[in-house]
């Protein structure tokens, strides 16, 4: 396939030159004399042109100068066919001696520091074969497919897409798209450092081994060769090595757990590294596929960014669990006073939950739960389930709270209902009170194009309550066909169960992290929930990450059967059997 894409690129370039010549023949341009730019280049009808076709053979350094002139002169809107042909032939002049010339290194770096039209310039350099000749490692990934279900671009095009996204952060006309990113990059200083990191972040794909580590080696050599300052070099290399850290932490870990934020902050180190990693992560995800990004992922990244930033700027030791709990309880009380609720409204709930509840729920969610359960108990309806739904405070989808007598298949029934209603669970926090009641919170995203989340609130509250109030049959997920990508590029499912390394609230040490990687398809979460129920596994949290046609779900589970390795192996085996397409 790589050869196919490379041949297609060559055909595209030939067609572009041919069409430009045909256009000039059909509609001859105005008879105006070219305007000289310097001794080698001229402006011909607002297109960069060479004064003669042997310019590059006479002065090979003019190859990079041509692209730099396109950036510097706003009146130039492209290249003449003559200039493109000359550049295409001159690409072979870029050899090791060319790359080692200080003047050429300075010009190449200036393309990034100048910034204007950077994406267009790099695309044109790639199309003409110049970028891959100057950076041989980039040349190796030109046209290279990424054999997964969420990258829709070849490696070289993905890299250029990421640089394009970073450039948009710096442009005022796109500030409304990513307000936080635009504010951060305006105060960052030297945003070109981010462009260099983006250029190398996936450059080692396909070599075998960890592409982040291999790419960091390439980035370090580039920084040394191009005489970057030590601070800038360190940041570029660090970003290439850690470019997956933030997305993995946000999507696979419980970022409301202070221990998770503590470990992430320790790796990041300071605010500048955090800001740079956040900007690169957003651009990387956005540049992967139009289907991968959604508002929920954006909120997760922003939540992790803000929590880490507060910790880095506090100049204090990381807060322990008890301090975090007291802080959230205090903030929850303040919110309840703001709503003019009774001072004792929270007491019944707080007596029934453990410390894990306060670590995993935000202060706003704690206040919401307390208010809903106070009204429920005040109406003397404690023998009936309670279902409350609202628009998510994070700005994406719905948030649903369920309070019901705990039962073995409760989670399965709820998953089946949400799937049937065409909602996807992206986050689940599962708690069991001391009285034996389940207190579960779900964040749902609309996958059925309802278009009116507010109108679905009453439907969810009424219909789910009806199903939980009696012995109704479990809703089966809506059937659907597998996507074309999943059918033709099958993904072997992967299931792992590992003991939880650390959780400050884990007093028993009997929690396990279940990770499931599989091709996305209708009813996938229902299959997982059914297997967990069959094996008597208790679910505590769920992180659902959908990357195009691929899912990477993480669950925090416990259960007496899991404490024995044979029980964990049996669950892994049964899950793998159930997930195979």
Per-residue confidence band for 238, with pLDDT thresholds at 50, 70 and 90: very high
Provide, rounded to the nearest whole percent, the portion of the chain with pLDDT above 90: 37
- The total of structural domains in the chain comes to 2
pLDDT band at 130 (very low <50, low <70, confident <90, very high): very high
19 exposed, middle or buried (CB, 10 Å; 0-12, 13-18, 19+)? exposed
Spell out the residues 6+ positions from residue 375 whose beta carbon is closer than 8 angstroms to its own. none
Name the most confidently modeled range: 73-82, 89-98, 391-400.
89-98
Higher pLDDT, 523 or 236: 236
Domain end marker among 226, 241, 256: 241
- The CATH number of the domain holding residue 232 is 1.10.3090
Distance CA 553, CA 572 (A): 14
Domain endpoint, select from 200, 222, 241: 241
Q: Which of 58, 56, 57 is nearest to 67 (CA)?
A: 56
Q: What is the mean pLDDT of residues 514-520?
A: 86
Residue 10 lies in a domain: yes
Q: 298 with 344: CB under 8 angstroms?
A: no
pLDDT digits (tens, 9 = 90+) for 83-113: 888 998 899 999 999 999 999 999 999 999 9
Query: Would residue 54 count as lying in a domain?
Result: yes
Say what percent of the chain tops pLDDT 70: 89
Tell me: the pLDDT tens digits for 220-234? 999 999 999 999 999
- Mean pLDDT for the stretch of residues 510-533: 86
Report the Cα–Cα distance between both ends of the chain, in Å, rounded: 25
Which pLDDT belongs to residue 188? 92
463, 468, 470, 473 alpha-carbon torsion, rounded to 10°? 80
**Enclosing domain of residue 145:** 2-171+183-241
Mind listing the pLDDT tens digit for each residue in 484-515?
555 555 678 899 998 876 544 444 457 888 99
What pLDDT score was predicted for residue 149? 44
Give the count of beta carbons closer than 10 Å to the beta carbon of residue 274. Answer: 23
Angle between helices 230-241 and 211-225 (to 10 degrees): 160
Give the pLDDT of residue 420.
Answer: 86
Q: Per residue in 287-342, pLDDT tens?
A: 887 777 877 788 889 989 999 998 888 755 555 566 778 888 999 899 988 877 78
Q: Which residues pair with 133 in a beta bridge?
A: none
Q: Is the pLDDT of residue 159 over 80?
A: yes
What phi and psi, each to the nearest 5 degrees, are found at residue 542? -140, 130
Identify the residue with better confidence: 453 or 528.
528
Give tens-digit pLDDT for 133-152: 999 999 999 888 765 544 56
Strands (E), 359-477: 386-391, 398-405, 423-432, 437-446
The residue among 241, 259, 288 that closes a domain is 241
Neighbours of 420 (CB within 10 A): 17
Q: List the strands of the sheet with 35-36, edge to edge.
A: 35-36, 41-44, 47-50
Q: Which residues fall within 8 angstroms of residue 162, CB to CB, at 6 or more apart?
A: 198, 201, 280, 283, 284, 286, 287
Which pLDDT does position 503 carry in this prediction?
A: 44
pLDDT at position 235: 97
pLDDT on residue 506: 45
pLDDT-based confidence at residue 575 (cuts at 50, 70, 90):
very high
Cβ–Cβ under 8 Å, residues 164 and 122: no
Asked if residue 428 belongs to a domain, the reply is no
pTM of the model: 0.80
47-50 and 41-44 as β-strands: parallel, antiparallel, unpaired?
A: antiparallel
pLDDT tens-digit map of 321-330 = 667 788 889 9
Bridge partners of 42, per DSSP, are 36, 49
295 falls within a domain: no
In a domain, 357, yes or no: no
How is residue 215 written in tokens?
């790419």
Can you read off the two tokens belonging to residue 336?
């309840």
CA distance 43 to 31: 13
Are 76 and 48 contacting, i.e. CB atoms less than 8 angstroms apart?
Answer: yes
Q: Is 463 exposed, middle or buried (0-12, 13-18, 19+ CB in 10 A)?
A: middle
Q: For 249-288, how does the pLDDT look when each residue is reduced to its tens digit (9 = 90+)? A: 998 888 888 888 989 999 999 999 999 999 999 999 998 8
> Is the sign of the CA dihedral 173, 175, 176, 178 positive or negative?
positive
Residue 422 inside a domain? The answer is no
Average pLDDT over residues 31-44: 86
Is position 446 within any domain? no
SS3 assignment for 557-571? EECHHHHCHHHHHHH
CATH of the domain at 530: 3.30.70.260
pLDDT > 90? residue 14: no
> Is residue 450 domain-resident?
no
Beta bridge partners of 390: 399
């Amino acid at each position: 396939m790589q050869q196919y894409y490379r041949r297609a690129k060559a055909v595209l370039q030939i067609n572009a030159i041919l069409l430009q010549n045909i256009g000039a023949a059909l509609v001859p341009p105005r008879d105006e004399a070219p305007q000289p730019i310097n001794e080698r280049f001229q402006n011909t009808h607002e297109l960069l042109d060479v004064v003669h076709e042997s310019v590059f053979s006479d002065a090979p350094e003019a190859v990079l100068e041509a692209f730099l002139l396109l950036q510097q002169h706003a009146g130039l809107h492209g290249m003449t066919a003559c200039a493109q042909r000359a550049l295409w032939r001159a690409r072979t002049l870029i050899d090791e001696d060319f790359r080692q010339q200080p003047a050429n290194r300075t010009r190449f770096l200036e393309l990034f520091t100048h910034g204007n039209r950077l994406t267009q310039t790099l695309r044109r350099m790639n199309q003409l074969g110049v970028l891959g000749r100057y950076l041989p490692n980039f040349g190796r990934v030109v046209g290279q497919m990424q054999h997964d279900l969420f990258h829709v671009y070849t490696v070289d095009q993905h890299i250029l897409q990421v640089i394009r996204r970073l450039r948009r952060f710096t442009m005022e006309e796109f500030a409304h798209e990513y307000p936080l990113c635009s504010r951060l990059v305006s105060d960052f200083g030297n945003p070109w450092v981010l462009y260099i990191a983006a250029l190398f972040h996936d450059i080692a794909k396909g070599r075998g081994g960890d592409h982040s580590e291999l790419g960091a080696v390439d980035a370090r050599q580039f920084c040394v060769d191009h005489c970057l300052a030590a601070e800038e070099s360190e940041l570029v290399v660090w970003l290439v090595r850690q470019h997956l850290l933030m997305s993995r932490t946000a999507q696979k870990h419980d970022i409301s757990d202070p221990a998770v934020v503590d470990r992430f902050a320790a790796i990041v180190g300071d605010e500048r590294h955090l800001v740079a990693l956040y900007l690169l992560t957003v651009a990387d995800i956005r540049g992967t596929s139009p289907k991968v990004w959604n508002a929920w992922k954006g909120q997760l990244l922003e939540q992790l960014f803000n929590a880490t930033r507060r910790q880095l700027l506090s100049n204090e030791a990381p807060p322990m669990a008890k301090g975090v709990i007291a802080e959230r309880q205090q903030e929850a009380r303040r919110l309840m006073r703001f709503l003019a609720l009774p001072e004792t409204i929270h007491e019944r709930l707080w007596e029934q939950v453990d410390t894990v509840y306060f670590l995993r729920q935000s202060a706003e969610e704690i206040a919401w739960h307390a208010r809903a359960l106070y009204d429920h108990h005040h109406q003397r309806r404690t023998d009936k389930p309670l279902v409350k739904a609202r628009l998510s405070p994070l700005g994406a989808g719905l948030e649903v709270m369920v309070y019901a007598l705990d039962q073995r298949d409760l989670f399965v029934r709820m998953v089946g209902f949400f799937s049937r209603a065409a909602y996807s669970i992206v986050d689940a926090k599962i708690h069991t009170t001391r009285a034996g009641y389940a207190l579960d919170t779900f964040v749902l995203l609309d996958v059925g194009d309802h278009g009116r989340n507010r109108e679905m609130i009453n439907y969810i509250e009424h219909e789910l309550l009806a199903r939980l109030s009696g012995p109704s049959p479990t809703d089966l997920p809506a059937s659907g066909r597998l996507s074309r990508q999943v059918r033709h590029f099958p993904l072997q499912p992967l299931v792992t169960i590992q003991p939880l390394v650390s959780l400050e609230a884990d007093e028993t040490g009997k929690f396990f992290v279940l990770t499931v990687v599989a091709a996305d398809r209708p009813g996938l979460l229902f299959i997982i929930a059914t297997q967990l129920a069959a094996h008597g596994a208790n679910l505590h949290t769920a992180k659902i990450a959908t990357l195009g046609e691929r899912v990477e779900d993480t669950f925090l589970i416990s259960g007496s059967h899991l404490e024995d390795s044979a029980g964990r192996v049996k669950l892994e085996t049964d899950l793998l059997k159930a997930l195979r397409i």
